[in-house]
Amino acid sequence: MNALSMIHKVQRATLALWALIGGGISLLTLILPRVVIREVVGVAATPASVVFCQMLGGMQLGLALTALVAALVPRPPRTIVWAIGIALTAGNCAAVLSALLNTISQNELKPFNHWLWVNGGFAALLVGTNAVREILRKRAA
């Protein structure tokens, strides 16, 4: 097994696992938003936060389904892997930037720390393996 096929397998497993976790949480968010907000995040749910949470759950479900489709092919399309990695990174960067600019306090960000680490880990793995994949592809050419 060469290095490029190993990268493909790592990417497929990463995409499939994120599709499972991200898709599962998003489905729960769409169906039971108050429960997810209260139990998973640990904050009180206002009507506006419920609607916004459901809207974001729908968007995350779309990203999870895209990850699942990419995971089902032998060589995940590079552009889709980049897009998913960038989307997860952008979400984390926005949350951290809000905390740094004092738009929200560190205490308000605390309930999301676990999810920031999960999304950040998946993003780093996808972006990192895609960068290595690009290097290997250029060497082979």
Q: What is the pLDDT of residue 10?
A: 96
What range defines the domain where residue 98 resides?
3-140
Q: Of 108, 82, 76, 86, which Cα lies nearest the Cα of 10? A: 76
pLDDT, tens digit, 9 for 90 and up, residues 50-69: 898 899 999 999 999 999 99
State how far the Cα of 36 lies from the Cα of 19, in Å rounded to an integer: 18
Band (pLDDT 50/70/90 cuts) for residue 107 is confident
Band (pLDDT 50/70/90 cuts) for residue 106 is confident
Structural domain count of the chain = 1
pLDDT, tens digit, 9 for 90 and up, residues 26-39: 999 999 999 888 88
State how far the Cα of 68 lies from the Cα of 16, in Å rounded to an integer: 5
CA atoms within 13 A on the CB side of 59: 10
Band (pLDDT 50/70/90 cuts) for residue 111 is confident
7 has pLDDT over 90: yes
The answer to whether 123 and 89 are in contact (CB under 8 A) is yes
Predicted TM-score (pTM) of this structure? 0.88
* Mean pLDDT confidence for 71-87: 96
What DSSP character marks residue 110? G
Q: What is the pLDDT of residue 38?
A: 84
Tokens of 23: 């898709």
- Unique residue bearing structure tokens 């995040």: 41
Taking the alpha carbons of 33, 28, 114, 130 in that order, is the dihedral positive or negative?
Answer: negative
